[in-house]
Structure 1
Amino acid sequence: LTSNIKGKVAIDIVDLKMIKISFTIIFAFALIFTVISRTSGAMMTHDKCSKVLDPNNCDLTKCRVNCIQQYQGIGHCIGRNPYKCICIYDCSP
């Protein structure tokens, strides 16, 4: 009976080590994937510019419409109350 218990404990320890190794491998791959995806995205982006369209108020719909009309960009509301409307657009001609 004691050898059976020792065998079970040894198997449980091996299982825990395998779980730790598996978790470490999965975490490492996720970290590598994240780093590669962020750096490749940064390399592929064009020069971006930003312009504050309204420093005192931001209605997201109006902000996006104004940004598209004026700069062919994407409008965002940033900051804290009051939010600012900024436009992110391509700097290149």
Structure 2
Amino acid sequence: MLTHFVRAVSSVLAKKEWPWTLAAIGFFVGCSVSNVDTPSSVDPSSAARDPGVRGGVAGAGAPFAGLTKTELAFFSAGKDDFAE
């Protein structure tokens, strides 16, 4: 029984596909290990936070200060189209 097993193993190892099989197994094991979640080293105090409700008037819908005449014309045309 042991002799049969040794012959089977040696015939598998003698084939040229064995290095490719071993490489594929190593690749998949490596991918599995590298995908393990690790604790983040990001400082929680620097994480994004919601600043809350903005005070004052919204000021939405007005063009930015300093637009050129061409930019203001595009803005006005877009505002008219949006209002339709």
**TM-score, with length taken from structure 2:** 0.37
The structure with the larger Rg is 2
Higher strand share: 1
